[in-house]
């Protein structure tokens, strides 16, 4: 058996906070205990929000915490070709369709639906895609493409699930309701997710799945906020013929009011706490690690 491979995968769209420290420590310690390696991946596909100074700060803050990772660091913005190749595989299975709507148009469609009663929301609270782009005629599609209109690529979830059949993942941590063991994947709750955005030829779901496979990752350790997204990730792995991984979702570090920590909250930012004279041992205590 090859040694297990773990990864910590922050986005450089802000400074790391206590929640990232917990995720990085849990990853690092599980990797060590398993005799495996830990990789660092910079998830910077959102080129408008990600900045080099945040990436530099990630390296500094992790090193300060005492976290070690194996080189090279993978930067998603340097691998758009790999995501395009995965999209081509899904397209060949007729599982993608073009969606030309703007955010405002989608919001208007949702508002319209909500006049007739509640409209379903995904596990993150965003409305399920209400559009009908899947049934756009070939002629309309061709005309709009020829006119250079930007479009997103969506996964035809019903067709994808029909192709993949019943799927599950192995969970060694736990979901928000204590779920662990073999978890049945339920990607339908996300609707027809976007796999390539108008402004970038991939999306979080696609990039994370492709990269975990390319990097040989065997264990994904991350916060419980991504527990339900794992259903989409497992589905994409099956459709793309990629290996199944072991998932370990850990508790979140919450604000005093029970909300998720935001990157903009300075009070929990690692740089801020370090500037106040705190040591890594203080950070561990704050996040409930011994």
Q: Are strands 168-171 and 194-196 parallel, antiparallel or unpaired?
A: unpaired
Q: Which of 95, 208, 213, 236 binds ligand GLU (CB under 6 A)?
A: 208
Q: Which of 4, 5, 6, 10 binds ligand GLU (CB under 6 A)?
A: 10
Say whether residue 202 binds ligand GLU (CB under 6 A). Answer: no
Say whether residue 11 binds ligand GLU (CB under 6 A). Answer: yes
Q: Which stretch binds ligand GLU (CB under 6 A): 4-12, 109-117, 134-142, 264-272?
A: 4-12
Per-residue interface string for the shown chain with ligand GLU, residues 153-192, x marking contact by CB under 6 A: ----------------------------------------
The maximal CA–CA distance of the chain, rounded, in angstroms, is 64
CB of 122 to ligand GLU, least distance (A): 16
Nearest residue to 97 via CA among 50, 40, 140: 140
Say whether residue 268 binds ligand GLU (CB under 6 A). Answer: no
Say whether residue 9 binds ligand GLU (CB under 6 A). Answer: yes
Say whether residue 246 binds ligand GLU (CB under 6 A). Answer: no
Q: Which stretch binds ligand GLU (CB under 6 A): 5-13, 50-58, 180-188, 278-286?
A: 5-13
Say whether residue 43 binds ligand GLU (CB under 6 A). Answer: yes
Q: Which is nearer to ligand GLU, 98 or 193 (CB)?
A: 193
Question: Does residue 128 contact residue 121 with C-beta atoms inside 8 Å?
Answer: yes
Record the tokens describing residue 149, joined without a space: 């209109």
Please state whether the peptide bond connecting residue 35 to the residue before it is cis, i.e. omega within 30 degrees of 0. Answer: no
Locate all alpha helices (DSSP H) within the chain, ordered by sequence.
Answer: 18-33, 52-65, 80-92, 103-114, 138-146, 157-164, 204-214, 230-240, 270-275, 280-286
Question: Does residue 206 contact residue 81 with C-beta atoms inside 8 Å?
Answer: no
**What are residue 127's DSSP bridge partners?**
121
Binding site for ligand GLU (CB under 6 A): 9-11, 43, 208, 222, 226
């Amino acid at each position: 058996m090859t040694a297990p491979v773990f990864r910590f995968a922050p986005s450089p769209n802000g400074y790391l906070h206590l929640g990232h420290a917990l995720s990085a420590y849990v990853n690092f310690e599980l990797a060590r205990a398993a005799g495996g390696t830990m990789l660092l991946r910079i998830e910077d596909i959102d080129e408008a929000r990600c900045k080099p100074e945040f990436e530099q700060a990630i390296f500094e803050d992790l090193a300060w915490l005492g976290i070690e990772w194996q080189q090279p660091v993978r930067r998603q913005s340097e691998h758009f070709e790999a995501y395009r190749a995965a999209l081509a595989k899904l397209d060949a299975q007729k599982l993608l369709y073009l969606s030309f709507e703007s955010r405002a148009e989608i919001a208007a469609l949702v508002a319209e639906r909500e006049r007739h009663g509640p409209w379903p929301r995904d596990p993150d609270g965003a409305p399920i895609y209400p559009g009908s782009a899947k049934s756009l005629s070939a002629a309309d599609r061709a005309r709009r493409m020829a006119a250079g209109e930007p479009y997103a690529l969506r996964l035809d979830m019903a067709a994808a699930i029909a192709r993949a059949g019943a799927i599950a993942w192995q969970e060694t941590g736990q979901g928000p309701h204590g779920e662990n063991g073999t978890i049945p994947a339920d990607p339908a709750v996300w609707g027809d997710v976007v796999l390539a955005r108008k402004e970038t030829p991939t999306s979080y779901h696609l990039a994370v799945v492709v990269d975990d496979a390319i990097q040989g990752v065997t264990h994904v350790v991350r916060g419980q906020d991504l527990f339900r997204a794992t259903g989409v990730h497992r589905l994409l792995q099956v459709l793309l013929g990629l290996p199944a991984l072991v998932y370990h979702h850990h508790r979140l570090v919450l604000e005093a009011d029970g909300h998720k920590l935001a990157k903009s909250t300075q009070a929990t930012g690692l740089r801020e706490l370090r500037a106040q004279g705190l040591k890594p041992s203080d950070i561990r205590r704050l996040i409930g690690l011994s």
